[in-house]
């Protein structure tokens, strides 16, 4: 399948790399292709520049947000939640069309310091904002409570015995996303479908706890496990 990934950060790289490894054609979107490839310094999070990753993944193409969105039959939003709507506008409503958009983003606002707060919560969510702004898109919120490494290698924590949440309005779109998750190695018995996209309020509001657990463990290699 042709898949467009919006976002060049660690999530875009992890998902893009995995999809390419699985045989999909992947194009990653950025604001400025030449500028992104020209960066040689490490990111503020200490990651190597995108160009270093690109060299190891020659089959993955880099394009503008608009071209990556046009390329993908299915799309991933892997951009900073504070700018996701802006990025989707750059991608263009025509290129987004009625495609499936897997929304991995979180509305983390660091403007008042660390730990971050949520720029939208309680009675709304970023997933819903995206769905309302682009009503034809089939938004499926998924993977946002999981570190990038674990997203594409679920067995890297507790041998895969942990939970993942998804939600979205379109049942067929959620089925297609579950198929992709299974191909990443997720046990679908552990994937909890919470219902429509308003449930993104719940999965995004886990993040304040997630960032505190990250502080406690000094590692992002942990997962939530729901038991009954
Ligand atoms: N890191 C994780 O393990 C993890 C886990 C779960 C969920 N998430 C969520 O996944 C999303 C991606 O996280 P990430 O750490 O991979 O990347 P990130 O640093 O949050 O976002 C990188 C992307 O945001 C774009 N961007 C930044 N500022 C912009 C602006 N002003 N206008 C337009 N685009 C802008 C960048 O564009 P350029 O390419 O042009 O620079 C880049 O493609 C976030 O919402 C995060 O909360 C992350």
Q: What is the mean pLDDT of residues 165-182?
A: 98
The SS3 call for residue 118 is: strand
Q: Judge if the beta carbon of residue 70 lies within 6 A of ligand 1.
A: no
Residue position matching structure tokens 């919470």: 194
Q: Tell the residue nearest (CA) to atom 17 of ligand 1.
A: 9
What phi and psi values does residue 27 have, to the nearest 5 degrees? -125, 125
Confidence of residue 157 (pLDDT cuts 50, 70, 90): very high
Given a cut of 90, whether residue 44 has pLDDT beyond it is: no
Closest residue by Cα to residue 189 from 154, 153, 144 = 154
41 and 86 in contact (C-beta within 8 Å)?
A: no
Model-level pTM? 0.98
| Residue-level pLDDT at 184 | 98
Q: Which residues contact 222 (CB under 8 A, 6 or more apart)?
A: 147, 157, 213, 214
- Closest-lying ligand 1 atom to the alpha carbon of residue 7: 43
Residue 80 CA to ligand 1 center (angstroms) comes to 3
Q: Judge if the beta carbon of residue 80 lies within 6 A of ligand 1.
A: yes
Q: Judge if the beta carbon of residue 223 lies within 6 A of ligand 1.
A: no
Average predicted confidence (pLDDT) for the chain: 97
| Residue-level pLDDT at 162 | 98
Report DSSP state, residue 97: T
């Amino acid at each position: 399948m042709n898949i467009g990934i919006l976002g060049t950060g660690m999530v875009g790289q992890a998902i893009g790399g995995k999809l390419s490894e699985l045989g999909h054609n992947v194009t990653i979107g950025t604001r400025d292709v030449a500028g992104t490839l020209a960066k040689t310094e490490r990111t503020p999070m200490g990651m190597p520049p995108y160009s270093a990753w690109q060299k190891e993944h020659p089959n993955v193409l880099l394009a503008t947000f608009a071209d990556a969105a046009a390329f993908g039959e299915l799309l991933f939003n892997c951009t900073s939640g504070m700018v996701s709507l802006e990025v989707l506008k750059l991608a263009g409503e025509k290129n987004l069309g009625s495609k499936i958009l897997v929304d991995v983003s979180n509305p983390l606002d660091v403007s008042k310091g660390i730990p971050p707060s949520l720029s939208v919560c309680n009675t709304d969510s970023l997933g819903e904002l995206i769905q309302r702004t682009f009503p034809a898109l089939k938004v499926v919120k998924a993977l946002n409570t999981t570190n990038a490494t674990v997203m594409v290698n679920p067995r890297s924590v507790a041998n895969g015995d942990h939970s993942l949440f998804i939600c979205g309005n379109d049942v067929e779109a959620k089925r297609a996303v579950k198929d992709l998750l299974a191909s990443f190695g997720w046990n679908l018995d552990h994937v909890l479908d919470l219902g429509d996209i308003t449930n993104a309020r719940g999965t995004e509001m886990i993040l304040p706890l997630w960032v505190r657990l990250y502080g406690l463990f000094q590692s992002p290699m942990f997962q939530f496990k729901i038991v009954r």
